[in-house]
């Protein structure tokens, strides 16, 4: 399900962290420490942009959140979707060059934080801004959706006066601000359209990019992601699952549930649903399912380990 971007109205009271805020300060253990107040736009030294958040050191991370937003990734070693999501978050925190830090919380080792963030399922991603918690999303979402959430998160942080940045201690300032290659114009337009929820315009921009360069793999992936977001826009989880349950022969309803599953990180469920539907369809229905599966491959990434076995099953069904 498409995550609800954070807003100023839902920043406070979402999670009870009082037991962690009010405990005595723990000895510094490599997380981070800041002063009790922060100057807007200040730079704070940290040992790394990706930190381990624990029941013992989270008070320090709460303090850090007065200067820079702290993204919280609640995970566990046995959680397969976590293994897909965490590397994306780690890459994005580096790409954003200190605009936020990432705190990884192993829920099995840190039951207080797990309870405080109400992590009923994992992965769960939250944030802390100025000591206040923000619930973000559950599941291993597509990268395009995660970028949307992060963009809104930084907007909310700015509204709260949390506009600092984190810099790895002893690293040159120039290294903290890497120069990125500019996106092609149509990609920029598509990304801006996605940020404002205009997925039709985003699809049009990606199609134009592909018309100009059919080998633009970023445009192929972007078009698939924008199409997925567009199909889910304005629909609730109950609407989608209820519609599929009441019309098990309705291919469009079943395709939409697969979209929902994949967007929530249940990638295997999405692919299995589509492959199970395949044999009972007429040629047109089979082709629709085949095209949808290939599109969802682009959403999760062709290097995703779940793509190869799904492709093998699809090939067996086709031939």
Active site residues: 79, 82
Burial class of residue 169 (count of CB atoms within 10 Å of its CB; 0-12, 13-18, 19+): exposed
Burial class of residue 113 (count of CB atoms within 10 Å of its CB; 0-12, 13-18, 19+): buried
Distance set, CA 39 to CA 141, 175, 216 (Å): 34, 22, 43
Within 10 angstroms of residue 182's Cβ, the number of other Cβ atoms is: 8
Cα pseudo-dihedral 214, 216, 222, 225, rounded to 10: 60
Burial class of residue 212 (count of CB atoms within 10 Å of its CB; 0-12, 13-18, 19+): exposed
What is the Cα–Cα distance from 53 to 75, expressed in whole angstroms? 11
């Amino acid at each position: 399900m498409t995550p609800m971007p954070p807003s100023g109205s839902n920043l406070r009271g979402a999670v009870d962290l009082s037991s962690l805020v009010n405990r005595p300060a723990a000895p510094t253990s490599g997380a981070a420490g800041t002063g009790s107040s922060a100057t807007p736009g200040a730079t704070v030294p940290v040992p790394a942009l990706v930190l381990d958040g624990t029941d013992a050191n989270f008070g320090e991370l709460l303090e850090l959140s007065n200067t820079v937003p702290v993204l919280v990734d609640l995970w566990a070693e046995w959680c397969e979707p976590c293994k897909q999501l965490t590397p994306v978050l780690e890459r994005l925190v580096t790409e954003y060059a200190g605009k936020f830090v990432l705190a990884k919380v192993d829920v099995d080792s840190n039951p207080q934080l797990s309870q405080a963030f109400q992590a009923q399922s994992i992965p769960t991603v939250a944030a802390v801004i100025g000591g206040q918690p923000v619930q973000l999303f559950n599941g291993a979402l597509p990268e395009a959706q995660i970028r949307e959430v992060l963009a809104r998160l930084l907007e909310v942080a700015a509204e709260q006066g949390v506009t600092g940045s984190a810099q790895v201690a002893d690293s040159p300032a120039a290294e903290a601000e890497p120069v990125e290659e500019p996106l092609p114009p149509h990609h920029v337009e598509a990304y801006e359209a996605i940020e404002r929820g205009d997925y039709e315009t985003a699809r049009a921009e990606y199609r134009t990019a592909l018309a100009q360069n059919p080998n633009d793999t970023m445009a192929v992936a972007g078009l698939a992601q924008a199409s997925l977001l567009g199909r889910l826009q304005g629909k609730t989880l109950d609407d989608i699952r209820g519609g599929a349950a009441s019309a098990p022969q309705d291919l469009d309803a079943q395709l939409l549930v697969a979209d929902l599953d994949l967007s929530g990180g249940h990638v295997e469920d999405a692919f299995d649903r589509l492959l199970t539907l395949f044999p009972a369809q007429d040629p047109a229905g089979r082709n629709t399912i085949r095209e949808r599966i290939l599109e969802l491959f682009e959403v999760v990434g062709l290097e995703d380990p779940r793509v190869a076995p799904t492709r093998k099953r699809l090939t067996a069904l086709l031939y």
